[in-house]
Structure formats: structure tokens, C-alpha cells
Structure 1
Amino acid sequence: MSSLQCPIHPDANLIEDHRAGDIICPECGLVVGDRLVDVGTEWRSFSNEKSGTDPSRVGAPENPVMGASDLSTSIMVGFGASDSSQGLANAQRKNMNNSDRQMNQAIGIIREMSERIHLARPIQDSAAKVFKQILDSKALRGRSNEAQAAACLYFACRKEGVPRTFKEICAVSRVSKKDIGKCFKLILRTLETSIEQITSADFMSRFCGNLDLPIAVQTAATRIAKKAVELDLVAARSPISIAAAAIYMASQASKDKRTAKEIGEVAGAAEQTIKQTYKFLLPRARELFPPEFKFVTPVEQLPAS
């Protein structure tokens, strides 16, 4: 464009008409050059949605977990659809290979479960990638798609450092805790990997937050649980039971008391299990609390159960 100039007005600053693809002299209107290609975004929208924020006609980003690179066309059939539309949709389902069908279904299951327990999109994506690896390996062939998806989500939560309990995952799925556990073990074996052992500290912040407990109680409960493990007071007890019992002890010593039943509803632990674990902690309570903790209820007056 810099080499072009109007023969009548050589000093004029030429302008581009992007719509027509021409270069025009602003002084006399002479078309100096034509057929320019507009490299900008094409803003024409072919959608019935008038409220869309981006009407550009481009596809969705490539999805690496889909075998066809997610470039397939989805045919939706609604109420009153013609026989031809129904036939196209049926044909599409038949043409989709089994792996892509399973992958598509699993992504939907993972997303639905994640939304119910408020898991972020990166965790969902991580679970989908794990499912893709397992699907390609055919290691879990014969297991239900939902059990595999639930196990992948549990694995992703552990891997990303935001663990959820088996009970929490089981509560938002339609498969048993036993089936999810079996799939999880097979995933670890298939991927030949190991993930860090979960501890009571992994759940402390979430449990205390859901119970609306102050940071001082959370800090004390974390110290109690850690010290109890170091002193071998809670052998064979699950990290969740230890966390729940530590929260129960710390809250009972503060002004923000919570019952074992309230804690159990948040932690997914039985009230009786929390109290039994608490009894193991009680004889050594004085050395379990952090030195700076401000007692409202002295150690000697803590409940016996």
C-alpha cells in the first residue's frame, strides 16, 4: 500500500474501504487499488442467539481428549422434528466410534459430579485426561462408565491437592463406594503412579470453613491431629476420623463449640466414630493443644465423650 499513490493527488493519505476491499483517494474518490483481503475477525453471526458476546463464526477450541479432535457436527433433534432430522441424528450416533461415545459420556458425568460439589474446571479437565488414558489402555474394560468417571475425578482431586472423600464422590454419583475404590486402584496400577498419602490436614481447612469455625480453632485442630499421629494415639484410624475428632476437641475447648453430630455431617463421618477417636485423644489433650491456645473450657472440663 505504501507504494500506491493517487496520480492526481500524490500527497494525499490513501484510505482503505474494508467492506469493498478498495484503496481510495480521499480527495477525489479515485480507486487506486482493489481486492484487498480483510484479515480481521469475521463478525457475521449465523446463530439465533442475539445475546451472544462473541458473534464471530469460529469453532470451539480443539479438545485433546476427543479422538476426532472435537470437529464433529452435533445434530440436535427437538420436539416436532422431521423424520429426516431424526434419521440424521441416529446416523450420527451410529457413525461415532465407541471410544468417542464413552469419552463424551464420561465428560458429561465428570462435569455433572464436579458442579454438584463445586470443583473447578482444571480439576474436571484433569479427570477427563485420566479417563482418556484409561480408556485407551482398555484396563477398565467391563467396568461401568460412571464408576470409571467417578474414580478419575477422585484421582484428579487427590492429584491437584484438593482431595475429596470417597463418600463425597459416592454421594454425587450413582455407583457404590466399593466400585469407585476398585476402579481407583486399577487406575493407580495402570498409570504406574502413586499419589501422596492424604492426611487430616488436607481436609481441615474445608471442614472448619463449612462449620464456620475461626482460624484459631482450625489451627488448634490441625496441631491436635498432627500431634496425635506423631504420638501414635490414633493407629488404624482414617485421616477423616482424626480430623473430625481434632475439630471436636478444639471447638469444645473454645467458645465456638460444635457437636460431634454437626462435625460428622460435614466430614461424612459417623458421630460414634468421631467420639471413639476423640476418646483416644482425651488422655493426652494437654500436650496436643498448641501452647498459645486460649482455652474457654479448660482441659479438665472437656466432655468425656
Structure 2
Amino acid sequence: MATRDIYEDGFDEDQGSISGRCPECEGRVLADGGELACTACGLVLEEERFDHGSEPWFDAENDEARRTGAPLTPARHDRGLSSEIGYGGDANGNCLSPRKRAQIARLRREHTRARWRSKAERNLATAFTEIRRLVSALESPRTVAEEACTLYRRAQSRDLIRGRSIEMMAAGSVYAACRCRNVARPPPEIAAVASCSRSDVVLGYGVLNRELGLDAKPVGVHDRVPAIASTCDVADAVTTRAFELADIAESCGIANGRHPRGVAAACLYLAARETEDPITQQTVATAASVSDATVRNRIVEFQPVLEPTTK
């Protein structure tokens, strides 16, 4: 089932959809935030973005255009409607008197105390802060943070947070959002930057998937190739050939019942061997977090398929 309402906070350009092939290397082109970029060589085809911010408000008397506030976002506990009392001067940049600064400090204190209407809302703000931190540490798109916060809000409304730690459910929400957005982030990678273990990340995701009925997409071989290629620091031609071998593996059934990281590592090794790039099986196995035997077994399975094309 869908995890958000249609056009609630963005447009189709923000959904991370596949938009054809790259004209340079024939790699996959990913649309994200109005920007079209190749996942293999990084070529940016289009970079015109939609402005999802608020429209300016025009003052007819002074003929000035002023912004009316930040846009709504599900990544905040109050959807971004709250205001902050700053520490600077007044609106014209003038310094405040000591009496006025003391008054502003008292107002800021009371404003902070009244920000949350209940303990549940305070916990929601704490969880959203943790989610944004995790997404930033993973260098994932903004849409992942927004969807993770939406999932956490739904879990709290279903009373799924009670008896479970905020850190565990926040990490599980980030992993669930990555699965729904088809972003390759395995649980060990999320656990490395989270305040919980890998088993807690899987447990939190399992609760969300079971109770909310997530539209989680299966992780394919294509999703594992870029990360392994980046770790091994191979040429763009090797990555492009690895994508072609990944297509062959999925069409011929080699990837059926196999771990995607093992098949992706074998594709990258075979692509490097065809282009005479010096890379070893142990290097790709370490980058993919699999054993050398797994890579060798996948290479053996590739041989009957690749032999007719090499003759």
C-alpha cells in the first residue's frame, strides 16, 4: 500500500523513478528532485528543479515581495509550522537593550516549554531528529527522510512505539523508507550510524512491515552494483559492463535464489576481467561483504551463459 498521499508534499519528479538510459555510457538514468542523472557515470542530463517553497507575498504599498514562511514538510513533528525566537537583534538589525534581551530570553524559555502539547509529541520530535540525522549520515535523498518520518508517525498513531525504543523504530523507519524508495541501504550500513544494533534495525522494520503493510520493493542486483563499484574504485566502463551482466543474470535466472550482493560482485569481477582491469576476487568479495567462495560460485554459474557470446 502507498505510504503517503498523492501530491501531499511534492511531485512525480521527487519519486526516484527510472527515466531511460544514459547517452554516454548506456547506464540507468535516475530522476530525483527534478534532476536526471546517470547512476553509472554520474552525468547530469537535466538539473532544472521545481521550487516547492512558499510563494512570495507582495506588499502593494511598498512594492516589495516577501516570503510567507517555510513550506510544509512531514519531517517535522508540527509539519514545519512552528516559529523560532532568534538570538540576534530586531528586524532592522539593531542591538537590543539589556532589558529587552532579558524579556526575549524569558519568552524564548516559555516558547520552548510550550512547543510540545504532550509527551507523545515530544517523543515524535525526538524521533524525527534522529531520523534526519540517520538520513544525513547515510547521504540519502530528502524524500527518504520525509517518508521515514511519515512511517514513524503512522506507527505512533497505531500505538506501535509503546514498549519499543525510539532509536530502534527510527532506524527501522529509515530502512523501511529505503526499501520503499528502492534505495540500496542494507541493515548493517544503517546500524553503523544508528544508536542500535543490526538486529534492532531488522526488528523495527519487521514491525512496520507487518503492521502497516509496506510497499517494500525487492532489492535487485542492479541496486548493489554501484556501491561495490565505488568501493573498488573501478572505471566507468567496468561499471557499465557490470550493469549489462546484471541484466543477463536476471533474465537467465542466475540471480534467482541468490544473494544480490554475491551476484553483483561476480558481475563486477567478470566485467573487470573483460576490460583487463586489475581486480581480485577477494577485493570484490570484501566490498560486497560476501565470501570468496560465493563470488567463485556465481562466476561458475555465469560461464555457460557467457561462453556462447565469447566464441
Tell me the TM-score normalized by structure 2.
0.63
* Corresponding residue for residue 74 of structure 1: 84
CA shift at 1:181, angstroms? 0.3
User: What is the SS of the residue equivalent to 2:66?
Assistant: coil
Change (3 A) 1:247 1:109: same
% identical aligned pairs: 22
User: What is the SS of the residue equivalent to 1:56?
Assistant: strand
Is contact 2:242-2:267 (8 Å) kept? Answer: no
Aligned positions of 1:1-305 closer than 5 A? 40-41=58-59, 56=66, 58-64=68-74, 68-75=78-85, 85=105, 88-89=108-109, 92-93=112-113, 96=116, 97-209=118-230, 211-213=233-235, 214=237, 215-223=239-247, 225-226=249-250, 230-231=253-254, 235=257, 237-264=258-285, 266-267=287-288, 269-270=289-290, 273=291, 275-289=292-306, 292=309
Please tell me whether Structure 1 or Structure 2 has the larger radius of gyration of its CA atoms: 1
Structure 1 unmatched runs, 5+: 1-38, 45-53, 295-305
CA shift at 1:243, angstroms? 1.7
| Runs of 4+, deviation exceeding 6 Å | none
CA shift at 1:291, angstroms? 5.2
Change (3 A) 1:68 1:169: closer
Alpha-carbon distance in 1 for matches of 2:228, 2:307: 19
Q: Which amino acid aligns with 2:234?
A: D
Is contact 1:220-1:290 (8 Å) kept? Answer: no
Q: Which amino acid aligns with 1:239?
A: P
Alpha-carbon distance in 2 for matches of 1:89, 1:212: 54
Change (3 A) 1:67 1:109: closer
Is contact 1:113-1:172 (8 Å) kept? Answer: yes
Alpha-carbon distance in 2 for matches of 1:255, 1:205: 19
Q: Which amino acid aligns with 2:112?
A: Q
Structure 2 unmatched runs, 5+: 1-56, 89-97
CA shift at 1:177, angstroms? 0.7
RMSD: 3.6
Alpha-carbon distance in 2 for matches of 1:290, 1:195: 36
CA shift at 1:180, angstroms? 0.5
Alpha-carbon distance in 1 for matches of 2:183, 2:307: 26
CA shift at 1:104, angstroms? 2.3
Alpha-carbon distance in 2 for matches of 1:252, 1:43: 71
User: What is the SS of the residue equivalent to 2:143?
Assistant: helix
Q: Which amino acid aligns with 1:89?
A: R
- Between Structure 1 and Structure 2, which shows a larger proportion of strand residues? 2
CA shift at 1:135, angstroms? 1.7
Q: Which amino acid aligns with 1:92?
A: T
CA shift at 1:90, angstroms? 6.2
When structure 1 is superposed on structure 2, of 182-191 and 207-216 the one drifting more is: 207-216
Matched length: 239
CA shift at 1:154, angstroms? 1.4
Which string of whole-angstrom CA distances, capped at 9 and with x for unpartnered residues, describes residues 272-301 of structure 1? x1x11123234444224385569xxxxxxx
Larger relative contact order (Cα-Cα within 8 Å, sequence gap ≥ 6): 2
Which string of whole-angstrom CA distances, capped at 9 and with x for unpartnered residues, describes residues 126-152 of structure 1? 122111111221213232222222211
